[in-house]
Amino acid sequence: MTLAASIKRAITTATLSLSCTLVLAVSIAQAEEVIDLEDASPNLPGWAAYGPGPGNQREYRAAAKWDVPFTVTLDNEVFHSGSASLKCETSQDAAEMSPVPPTIPASGAVTIRFFIRTSGVDSQEGTFVVSQIDSSGKSGKGLSSEKIPPSDNAWVEVTWTGELNPETAGVRLLFTYKDLPAGARVWLDDISVKSAE
């Protein structure tokens, strides 16, 4: 092999190595955690909900166990993308309906994105809360509360970007609607957390 050919080969190898490194760095920076409802089990493992319990006090339990005054189920007929969404539906008037997805791994600066759709909610806003969870699974310092705009039977995209505390290992999201009439429905789909750095 000539000297010129050796130099050309070394430059090509170095360029390829640099390209692979840049692609890897971009992939890491754009890592995204997604809650995939298409593969979710009907008993919704990891999902929970808040709502009124006996005596109308606030209660927390597994999402699939809610039966009164609302239910939480997978919906294969109404979805933003894919083949399923999460549907919460009131069977009677409800003081509160708050589905909670499983904790999503997250740290640093993140962008949280989801799509939500409502029906029979009387054009009211909802509330979206980001709770920061530490490595032991406990809620850490830092809580952000944002409004969810009314949707009136159309999918609405909601995006939130923020810097998480250094001890944060994940985020727990809470989607809340209050004072709902019987027959009100809320759908959630395409929930994701992505590095914002």
d(CA 142, CA 91): 34
**What residue has token string 């493992």?**
45
88 contacts 185 by C-beta, under 8 angstroms: yes
Q: Where in the chain are the domains?
A: 1-30, 32-195
pLDDT tens string 85-114: 999 999 999 999 999 999 999 999 999 999
Q: Which amino acid is at 33?
A: E
pLDDT tens string 119-149: 999 888 999 999 999 998 888 777 788 999 9
Tokens of 17: 């190595």
According to the CATH classification, is domain 32-195 in 2.60.120.260?
Answer: yes
34 CB contacts (<8 Å, ≥6 apart)?
A: 190, 191, 192
Give the pLDDT confidence score for residue 143 in this predicted structure.
Answer: 77
Burial class (CB in 10 A: 0-12, 13-18, 19+), 58: exposed
pLDDT tens string 148-158: 999 889 999 99
